[in-house]
Amino acid sequence: MSETQEVYDESKIKSLSSIDHIRLRPGMYIGRLGDGSHPSDGVYVLVKEVIDNAIDEFIMGHGKRVDITADEDCNVTVRDYGRGIPLGKLVECVSVINTGAKYNDEVFQFSVGLNGVGTKAVNALSQSFFVRSVREGRFKEATFHAGKLEKEEDGETTDKNGTTVTFNCDREIFPEKVKMRLEFLHKRILYYSYLNTGLALKYNGETFKSTGGLKDLLQSEIGEDALYEPIHYRDSTLEFSFTHSHNYGENFFSFVNGQYTNDGGTHLSSFREGILKGINEFTKRSFQGVDVRDGIIGTIAVKLKDPVFESQTKNKLSNTDIKSWIVNTVKDALVDTFHKNEELSKVIVEKCSLNEKVRKELHMVKKEARDKAKKAAVKVPGLRDCKFHFDVESKRSGETQIFITEGQSALGSLVSSRDPEVQALFAIRGKPLNVFGQKKDMLYRNAELYNIMKALGIEDDVDNLRYNKVILATDADVDGLHIRNLLITYFLHYFEEVATHGHLYILETPLYRVRNKKSTVYCYTDAERDKALKKLNDAELTRFKGLGEISPSEFGQFIGDDIRLVQVQVDSVHAVNSILRFYMGANTPDRRNYIMENLRETD
């Protein structure tokens, strides 16, 4: 019996409008949709695109204020006081792709937005979308539903020039449970104020305005931990600032045309090289990069007419032609600063010299640890690797994950249910060492800490991280939570960039399974458990005490498309030390009092 084949003819060919295409393939325009629990989720991209347009007006010298309101239910309004969208093109500018003034350098030289796509994507992915433009005493406004025009109106007004956009994300596109975390917007708007000195941004009644630019950003991040007053340089297209602290590693915040580039790119690598060359030229020394950058915290912002990014979400800059410009500008600015400030140059040389001394002292310790590891095993003990890696460009590099688990029992379920192409596993033995306050040589004197570092590939540079997501998968009991805290301490103490760059996560697995002969419900909270018990008759309740109790056939769904992850987030760099000192330091009485004061009564 022959199989019936689908007919492929002219009737199968479809043409979609730009709005329909955005709704069908939203990921092409805004990246991940998400539920609002991650700063890169689509709902924040929508807000960003509208604010970017308002910022563009300020950059071009029109309007010194932007008003923003938002709530958890994803209702957002942005009002700028710029020139206003030309009234005759208002509808086209928010609904027809490739329509806009950002293709014209005379109007927008350093655009932040998506060049004719941004506001259209917001419109297409909104349940309701309203836009109003005011220009010289006249206004025009339009209302849309799911990207389709519903109403237009125009007339005279006494309002000030500018554009207002109000929208609510469409829950037919986004998950029904999507919620906006207002603290994510708070930080993004704070960054906007640092990047656009003189601009006032009013967000839910709070006004943000910076006069110091990136220097203000740096001081807010590092607080009193700075070894010296941050070095700051600014011209029309390049701004940077940096200082040092006593922390390990390096932390940078990089921006292109106002866009935060979480994964850096050529502007950041050029900035780092310029710092090294500037210090070496002034001191007539030959410091290595690690000598100069260990303990550094810096930030750089560039303005480019034609930025090239590795993806639509603009996390990494690819322009190669900017390298010599940035390297030479940074180098010359540093040499000039050092000549003018002898005390500052002495502090920096002392810090670099100390780093150099520590590096040389660690050299023998490293050699001993490596020799010992080579004798013990060819591969990293405890690591079950995957095919693709984050540090090697491939179509699936962004999907790469490594699960750090406690013991072999949890590993067994993960081995059978993982995707071996992008999911690696690493099993630790027992509780890792509390490394708070420990020197860097402990990484090489403790086999478990050394193996974690080698498995992740971050010994020399966090930029060599082999997996996009480092996921802590521990049991949901007291011991598991303690191990999780010890691992978080390990990363924040030695490799805090893994967390600050958004790579460190906690795996959420169900606490309960409620099932009867017809249905099975997995519950992550007591409230979900109680709800499931009421819903299912004659239900059996299972409490999962450890990951090893979840069968491989069940575990697959918890690390697949519906994986639940909580990102380990750092509000500011200077907060790390105080948090670790309180929770992991030698202040047992203070910690005990805190626990006693915050105990909750349970049934």
* One-letter-per-residue 3-state SS of 189-242: HHHHHHHCCCCEEEECCEEECCCCCHHHHHHHHHHHHCCCCCEEEECCCEEEEE
* pLDDT tens track for 19-54: 888 888 888 888 788 888 888 888 998 999 999 889
Q: What is the pLDDT of residue 195?
A: 92
Question: Got the DSSP string for 419-446?
Answer: -TTTEEEEEE-SPPP--TT--TTHHHHS
Structure tokens at 98: 């490739």
Q: What pLDDT was estimated at residue 16?
A: 67
**Choices 3.40.190.10, 3.40.50.300, 1.10.287.3510, 3.40.50.670: CATH for 377-509+544-597:** 3.40.50.670
Residue count of the chain:
603
pLDDT > 50? residue 1: no
Output Rg (C-alpha) for the chain, integer angstroms: 27
602, pLDDT greater than 70? no
Q: What is the per-residue pLDDT for 601?
A: 53
CA 489, CA 475: separation in Å to the nearest integer?
17
Quote the pTM value: 0.76
Query: What's the pLDDT tens digit per position in 269-288?
Result: 999 999 999 999 999 999 99
Per residue in 317-334, pLDDT (tens digit) is 888 899 999 999 999 999
Q: What is the CATH number of domain 214-358?
A: 3.30.230.10
Interior CA angle at 103 toward 327 and 139, to 5°?
125
pLDDT (average), residues 239-256: 90
Chain mean pLDDT for the chain: 85
Average pLDDT over residues 496-525: 88
Residue with tokens 């290595």: 288
User: What is the second-level CATH architecture of the domain 18-208?
Assistant: 2-Layer Sandwich (3.30)
What number of other Cβ atoms are within 10 A of residue 566's Cβ?
Answer: 13
Q: Which structure tokens are listed for 276?
A: 């090294």
CA 264 to chain centre: 11
Closest alpha carbon to 209 in 226, 227, 189, 180? 189
% of the chain exceeding 90 in pLDDT:
41
And the tokens for 479?
A: 């011991």
Whole-angstrom Cα distance, residue 433 to residue 595? Answer: 22
Any idea where the domains of the chain sit in the sequence? 18-208, 214-358, 377-509+544-597, 512-543
Q: Hunting for tokens 């007539």 — which residue is that?
A: 284
* pLDDT at position 242: 95
Residues 169-179 have a mean pLDDT of: 88
Give me the pLDDT at residue 5, please: 63
